[in-house]
Amino acid sequence: MDIGAQKPNKEVVIVTGSSGMIGSALIHKLSEKYHVVGFDQDGYPFPPVEAECVCVDLTSDSRMDFAFKRIRYAYGNKIASVVHLAAYYDFLGEPSDLYDKVTVKGTERMLKYLQDFKVEQFIFSSSMLVYKPSSPGVLITEESPLEPKWDYPKSKVTTEKVMHEQRGEIPVVIMRIAGVYSEDGNSIPITNQVQRIYEKQLSARLYPANTAHGSTYVHRDDVINAIALAIDNRKDLQAEVVINIGDDETLSYKELQDIISTEIHDEKTPIIAIPKWFAKAGAFMQNLFGKAFIKPWMIDLANDHFEMDSSKAKNLLGWKPKHGLRDTLPKMIDNLKANPEKFYKENKLG
């Protein structure tokens, strides 16, 4: 439907990556209050029907120009918020120019075209992985040192710098988000751990690092709530603000293992400590004869511990996580048991 040059009664929010796991759920929530436009690639999957879909390519000036001409024609010059979720990532651990083309240059291109609009806010989804790892009991705050160790978080740090330098008068919110999960899975590291335990793979019992270490996660719905609150409170925030978004509790690797194995097999799966060289050799062989999730490069990061402090989000946004991984894992396992084929398909498990 062509809305033409009519101005909507609701304020306009643009969501990039609008057909993704977070983007699509975010649109469902925001559409209750805002007029949402979904920026996404051509073809399936599409954004939810509550949003107008505007096809765009972050790597193309001509496609970006077309997209923003559509915005101006249909909605005018004012944009309440741009929620930028689109980015490139993979777990191959190999260099890719797409990190620069999509994540860094794509964001830079968006900011360039947005300078001609009155934009009240730009929200960028960054990652917890930009930080230097901590240790159990030592919380990572927004002022903690940065030390990204592979291309995905490195591209986020570079993009954060681009935003600082090229935002112009556009207020920006950088959300450093923990690993996202839901009752359906939706977390690549967690669902792969679930698969190994469910299938009683030998690798489920082997670990080359301190099992008392772990990482903060956050429920998808809590991320969506944080973004919605940031939009609602946009006029009360500073011109540049960084906010951590994560659960209140950080589970260790052993706690994760114990909960998952108990929920699946009614008993804990013992973990056997192995040296890193052995783990790397095993990962290499698994990938040599198939496509295993664990890659040799991941072994060097297995001992990293990320424990985030999200009190700033609570103070600035009035946000509080309503979910926890400890309570959600049993529901995730219930969904696995109820329909293993569906769980494997939705989480792209081989």
For 276-326, how does the pLDDT look when each residue is reduced to its tens digit (9 = 90+)?
765 666 665 666 555 666 667 678 888 999 999 999 999 999 999 999 999
C-alpha–C-alpha distance, residues 92 and 95, integer Å: 9
Could you give the CA distance from residue 34 to residue 131 in angstroms, rounded to a whole number? 33
Q: What is the pLDDT of residues 124-162, one digit of tens each?
A: 999 999 999 999 999 999 999 999 999 999 999 999 999
Range of the domain at 207: 188-215+250-304+324-347
Domain annotation covers residue 2: no
**Taking residues 84-89, what's their average pLDDT?**
93
Given this model, what pLDDT does residue 273 score? 86
Q: Which of 247, 267, 250 is nearest to 258 (CA)?
A: 267
CA 27, CA 24: separation in Å to the nearest integer? 5
pLDDT at residue 1 in the model: 40
Mark whether 61 and 168 lie in a shared domain.
yes
Do 240 and 254 belong together in one domain? Answer: no
pLDDT surpasses 60 at 8: no
- pLDDT tens digits for 235-262? 999 999 999 999 999 999 999 999 999 9
Return the percentage of the chain with pLDDT > 90, whole number.
80
In tens, the pLDDT along 154-191 reads 999 999 999 999 999 999 999 999 999 999 999 999 99
In a domain, 5, yes or no: no
Residue 3 has pLDDT above 50, yes or no: no
- 239 and 194 in a single domain? The answer is no
Q: Are residues 120 and 138 in the same domain?
A: yes
In this structure, the answer to whether residues 204 and 58 fall within a common structural domain is no
* pTM as predicted: 0.93
* Whether residue 199 sits in one domain with residue 298: yes
* Average pLDDT value for residue range 15-34: 95
Q: Are residues 28 and 44 in the same domain?
A: yes
Is 311 part of any domain? Answer: no
pLDDT of 15 higher than 50: yes
Residue 18's SS3 state is coil
Count of domains observed in the chain: 2
Residues 6+ apart with CB under 8 A from 8: 35, 75
Kindly state whether residues 240 and 336 are assigned to the same domain. Answer: no
In terms of pLDDT, which residue wins out, 202 or 144? Answer: 144
